[in-house]
Amino acid sequence: MTLAVAQTVDQLPVAPYASESAAILNVIERMAMNPEIDPDRIERFIALKERIDAAAAKKAFDAAVSQAKATIPPAEKNATGHNNKKYADFYAYAKVVDPIISGLGLSYRFRTTQTDKITVTCVLTHEGGHAEENSLSGPADSSGSKNAIQAIGSTLTYLQRYTLVQALGLAAGEDDDGKAAGIGNTINEQQRQLLSNLIDQTGADEARFFAFFGIEYLPELPASRFAEAKQMLEAKRK
């Protein structure tokens, strides 16, 4: 191949391929066979292919999550929480979620850290390579007669349940009997993060805050009471 031809190899016609990524890979392979091609040009094509692959993986991920959200049935409320409220625990969610998302190429895992709070991160991954994660934190659940290990375990399963619900975009209101109690949907992730930041900034007593609103953890806060909670915390900062 002459230098003139080598310099325009990226413009050569390529046979039809199943994907744009495969076509670019074909060009990269032909460029790599010619020692006269500038390695920087090959690197640029490799970077282009990586961007295309990443975009395709994100698109496949979004499509799978959308399909999962439309297909996953409500989880059975198989457990009883505070004030005798019925709710679906993590096992109930896994029972309806796992068979559906596995068929769509999705899987999830959890990453946990602990400082003054317990933080659980749900990592949702698609077989195409794209993954997204979200995290929630909370104190050990020392309610009732739990010992230290039981308190940590209770919080872990609680946060696993909520992060999985958020990762799949399921309605938070379906996670407990909030609707049945007439309180409507719960706060969204952005509202939760804002309130969590305010609690940290003001040094508010979480236990008293949760008790005031009749909740065990921040994600349970009814959306209808978000403005009240925000105003209360901002007033404490002044």
Q: How confident is the chain (238 residues) per 10-residue block, as mean pLDDT?
A: 36 43 70 75 77 86 93 85 72 93 95 88 94 86 69 84 88 42 60 86 84 78 88 84
As a dihedral over the C-alpha atoms of residue 85, residue 86, residue 89, residue 92, rounded to 10 degrees, the angle is -170
Return the biggest CA–CA distance within the chain.
81
Tokens of 131: 């993954």
> Whole domain around residue 86: which residue ranges?
72-168
Residue 220 lies in a domain: yes
Single residue among 134, 168, 202 that ends a domain in this structure: 168
Single residue among 11, 33, 68 that ends a domain in this structure: 68
Residue 36 lies in a domain: yes
Assess whether 98 and 134 both reside in one domain: yes
**How many Å apart are CA 32 and CA 52, to the nearest integer?**
20
Residue 178 lies in a domain: no
Nearest in space to 65 (alpha carbons), one of 170, 162, 176, 187: 170
Does this model's pTM top 0.75? My answer is: no
Assess whether 163 and 190 both reside in one domain: no
Please tell me the total count of domains within the chain.
3
Assess whether 17 and 88 both reside in one domain: no
Assess whether 93 and 151 both reside in one domain: yes
Residue 176 lies in a domain: no
Assess whether 157 and 195 both reside in one domain: no
Residue 174 lies in a domain: no
The pLDDT value given to residue 144: 58
Phi and psi for 91 in degrees, rounded to 5?
-60, -40
The pLDDT value given to residue 238: 64
